[in-house]
C-alpha cells in the first residue's frame, strides 16, 4: 500500500479527537501502524476498541496516540479529502448517461463521471462494477460492507456491453456472484431505455435477478432521464402513458411471484412511472421498508403518509393566518398540492399555492425538483403573487450551501423575487411545520454528498 497522509480539517466538539488535543491542520499518517488507504479502510480500522494513531502536527512533529473506545465509536475527525483517496471516474460511455446531456458552461465538477463503489456505501450511489478490481471485491467482502448498490441495466452480457459501451461490462456481472456467495447485501437498479432493455428483455433480467435473493434485497426500475442536450447522442425517446401502465403491470406480476416465493416484493417502479401512468401509488407495505428511497422509489407516497401523520399530531392551537407559496418540479407538484389541501382542511386561514416549475434549463422532459435551477425559478415566478414566503425543497441545493445547480444563490433569488425563501427538509413533518410557520427558518442545507473537485480542494458537498 502506498504511503498516504491525510490532512485534518475539522475536529468535532467533545469528541475523542478533541480530548486528545488533535487540531485542524494536523495530519493522520497511520492507524495501527499502517497507512490508511481510503475512507473505507479508515472506517474499518475505527471499528476496533483499541487503535493507535500516528499524527503529525503542522510543524511535522509526530505523536503516537493510544485510544481505547467503544466499538464503532467515531473519533470526530473530518479530512480535507472526504474520500481520503482519488475519486474513481467512470470507464463506460453509457448510451443513457445524464452527464453527456449537460449543457456547457457549468462548474467543472458537474461533468465528472464517477463510478466509485465506495460512494455506494457512503451515500448510496449506484455503480456498474466495470472498474472494480478483484481486490476491490475482496475488500468489500473482508470489511463486510453492505449494502452495495449495483446498476445492472440488463443481465444479458452482450446487451450490457452495448448499453454501457464497454466490452468488459458483461464480464463485470460475475462480480455479483462473488458478492452473493459471500453474503453481501445488495440493491439493484435498471435504467429503462425504450426499445432497448424493456419488455421481454426486462422480464428476463428480473427473472435472472430473482436468483440472487435473499442477498439482493431489491431492484428498482427507473425511466431514462432525457434532457434537451442530446445532439449527436444515441437516439432515445421518452415513455408514453400506455407504456408506463404496461410497465407497472409487469412490475406487479413479478412482485406477486417474488412475494409468494421469498416474502419480498423485490422489484419496484420509481414514482415517475405511477405519475406518468396516472395510477395511484401502491400500499406502503409493498415497498418492503423503502430500501431505495433515495432512488425515487416510494419517496412521494412516504412523504404523503408523513404529512398525514404530522397533521394528526399537531397541537390544538391554531397558527396565525398566513399566505405563502411553494415551487417544485412538475413531478412532485400534484403531491405537494395534495399536502397543502390536507393542511388547509384543518387550518383554513392558511393560503398557499403550488407553482410547478418547467425545466427550461435541461428541457421539459426533466421534471424532478432536484434539477430545478435558480434561473428557472426566477424567470417563472417573477410576476407571481408569492405571499409572505416561498418554500423550496432542500433537494434543489448543494449540501451545506445555499447554491442551486446553476450556481445562483438563495440570497440572489430572494432579491430577484422580493420574497423571503424558506428551505424545507425532505420529511413530510418538515413540510407541515414550514407551511404552518411553526418552526424557525431552516438553514439552507441538504443531505451529505461527495463531489469530485480539483486535487487541491476536495471536500464533501
Residues 122 and 43 in one domain: no
Which of 58, 84, 110 is at the close of a domain? 84
| HEC letters along the chain | CCCCCEEEEEECCCCHHHHHCCCCCCEEEEECCECCCCHHHHHHHCCCCEEEEEEECCCCCEEEEEEECCCCCCCCEEECCCCCCCCCECCCCCCCCCHHHCCCCCCHHHHCCECCHHHHHHHCCCECCCCCCHHHHHHHHHHCCCCEEEECCCCCHHHHHHHHCCCCCCHHHHHHHHHHHCCCCEEEEEEECCCCCCCHHHHHHHHHHHCCCCCEEEEEEEECCCCCCCCCCCCCCCCCHHHHHHHHHHHHHHHHHHHHHHCCCCEEECHHHHHHHCCCCCCHHHHCCCCCHHHCCCHHHHHHHHHHHHHHCCCCCCCCCEEEEEEEECCCHHHHHHHHHHHHHHCCCEEEEEEEECCCCCCCCCCCHHHCCHHHHHHHHCCCCCCCCEEEEHHHCCCCCCECCCCCEHHHHHHHHCCCEEEECCCHHHHHHHHHCCCCCCCCCCCCCEECCCCCCCEEC
Same domain membership, residue 390 and residue 278: no
Assigned domain for 89 exists: no
Are both 220 and 114 inside the same structural domain?
A: yes
203 lies in the same domain as 315: no
Q: What is the CATH number of the domain that holds 308?
A: 3.40.50
| CATH number for 68 | 2.30.42.10
Q: Give a yes or no: residue 94 inside a domain.
A: no
Whether residue 203 sits in one domain with residue 137 = yes
In terms of domains, do 290 and 308 share one?
no
CATH classification at residue 177: 3.80.30
Q: How many domains does the chain have?
A: 3
- Burial (CB count <10 Å: 0-12, 13-18, 19+), residue 334: middle
Is 75 a member of any domain?
yes
Domain boundary at 269, 294, 319, which? Answer: 294
Q: Are residues 310 and 432 in the same domain?
A: yes
- Please check whether residues 67 and 144 belong to one and the same domain: no
For residue 460, tell me if it sits in a domain.
no
Residue 458 lies in a domain: no
Domain boundary among 240, 268, 294: 294
Q: Is residue 119 part of a domain?
A: yes
21 falls within a domain: yes
- Do residues 63 and 171 share a domain? no
Domain that holds residue 353: 304-445
Assess whether 104 and 26 both reside in one domain.
no
pTM: 0.85
240 domain residue, yes or no: yes
* 324 in the same domain as 289: no
Same domain? 348 vs 439: yes
Per-residue pLDDT of the chain (461 residues; tens, 9 = 90+): 456 789 999 999 999 999 999 999 999 999 999 889 888 888 888 888 999 999 999 888 999 999 999 887 889 999 988 888 888 888 899 999 999 999 988 887 778 888 888 888 777 889 999 999 999 999 999 988 889 999 999 999 999 999 999 999 999 999 999 999 999 999 999 999 999 999 999 999 999 999 999 999 999 999 999 999 999 999 999 999 999 999 999 999 999 999 999 999 999 999 999 999 999 999 999 999 999 998 899 999 999 999 999 999 887 667 789 999 999 999 999 999 999 999 999 899 999 999 999 999 999 999 999 999 999 999 999 999 999 999 999 999 986 679 999 999 999 999 999 999 999 999 999 999 999 998 644 444 433 333 332 222 222 22
Amino acid at each position: 500500500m502506498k504511503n498516504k497522509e491525510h490532512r485534518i480539517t475539522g475536529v468535532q466538539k467533545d469528541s475523542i479527537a478533541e480530548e486528545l488535543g488533535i487540531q485542524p491542520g494536523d495530519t493522520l499518517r497511520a492507524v495501527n501502524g499502517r497507512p490508511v488507504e481510503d475512507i473505507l479502510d479508515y472506517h474499518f480500522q475505527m471499528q476496533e476498541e483499541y487503535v493507535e494513531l500516528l499524527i503529525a502536527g503542522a510543524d511535522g512533529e509526530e505523536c503516537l496516540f493510544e485510544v481505547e473506545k467503544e466499538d464503532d465509536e467515531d473519533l470526530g475527525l473530518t479530512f480535507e479529502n472526504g474520500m481520503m483517496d482519488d475519486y474513481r471516474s467512470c470507464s463506460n460511455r453509457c448510451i443513457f448517461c445524464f452527464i453527456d446531456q449537460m449543457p456547457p458552461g457549468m462548474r467543472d465538477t458537474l461533468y465528472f463521471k464517477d463510478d466509485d463503489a465506495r460512494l455506494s456505501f457512503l451515500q448510496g450511489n449506484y455503480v456498474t462494477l466495470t472498474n472494480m478490481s478483484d481486490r476491490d471485491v475482496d475488500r468489500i467482502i473482508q470489511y463486510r460492507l453492505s449494502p452495495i448498490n449495483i446498476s445492472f441495466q440488463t443481465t444479458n452480457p452482450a446487451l450490457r456491453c452495448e448499453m454501457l459501451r464497454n466490452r468488459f461490462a458483461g464480464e463485470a456481472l460475475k462480480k455479483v456472484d462473488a458478492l452473493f456467495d459471500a453474503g453481501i447485501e445488495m440493491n439493484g437498479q435498471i435504467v429503462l431505455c425504450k426499445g432497448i432493455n424493456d419488455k421481454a428483455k426486462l422480464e428476463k433480467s428480473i427473472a435472472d435477478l430473482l436468483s440472487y435473493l435473499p442477498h439482493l434485497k431489491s431492484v428498482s426500475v427507473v425511466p431514462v432521464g432525457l434532457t434537451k442536450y442530446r445532439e449527436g447522442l444515441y437516439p432515445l425517446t421518452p415513455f408514453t402513458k400506455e407504456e408506463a401502465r404496461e410497465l407497472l403491470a409487469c412490475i406487479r406480476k413479478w412482485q406477486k411471484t417474488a412475494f409468494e416465493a421469498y416474502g419480498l416484493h423485490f422489484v419496484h417502479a420509481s414514482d415517475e412511472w405511477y405519475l406518468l401512468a396516472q395510477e395511484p401509488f401502491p400500499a406502503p407495505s409493498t415497498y418492503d421498508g423503502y430500501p431505495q428511497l433515495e432512488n425515487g422509489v416510494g419517496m412521494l407516497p412516504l412523504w404523503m403518509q408523513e404529512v398525514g401523520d404530522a397533521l394528526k399530531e399537531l397541537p390544538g392551537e391554531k397558527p396565525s393566518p398566513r399566505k405563502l407559496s411553494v415551487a417544485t418540479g412538475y413531478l412532485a407538484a400534484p403531491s405537494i398540492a395534495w399536502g397543502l389541501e390536507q393542511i388547509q382542511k384543518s387550518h383554513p386561514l392558511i393560503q398557499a399555492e403550488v407553482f410547478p416549475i418547467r425545466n427550461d434549463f435541461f428541457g421539459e422532459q426533466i421534471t424532478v425538483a432536484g434539477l430545478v435551477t435558480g434561473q428557472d425559478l426566477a424567470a417563472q415566478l417573477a410576476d407571481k403573487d408569492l405571499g409572505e414566503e416561498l418554500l423550496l425543497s432542500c433537494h434543489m441545493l448543494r449540501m451545506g450551501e445555499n447554491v442551486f445547480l446553476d450556481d445562483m444563490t438563495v440570497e440572489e433569488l430572494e432579491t430577484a423575487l422580493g420574497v423571503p425563501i424558506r428551505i424545507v427538509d425532505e420529511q413530510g413533518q418538515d413540510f407541515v411545520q414550514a407551511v404552518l410557520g411553526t418552526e424557525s427558518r431552516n438553514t439552507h442545507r441538504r443531505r451529505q454528498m461527495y463531489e469530485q473537485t480539483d486535487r487541491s480542494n476536495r471536500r464533501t458537498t
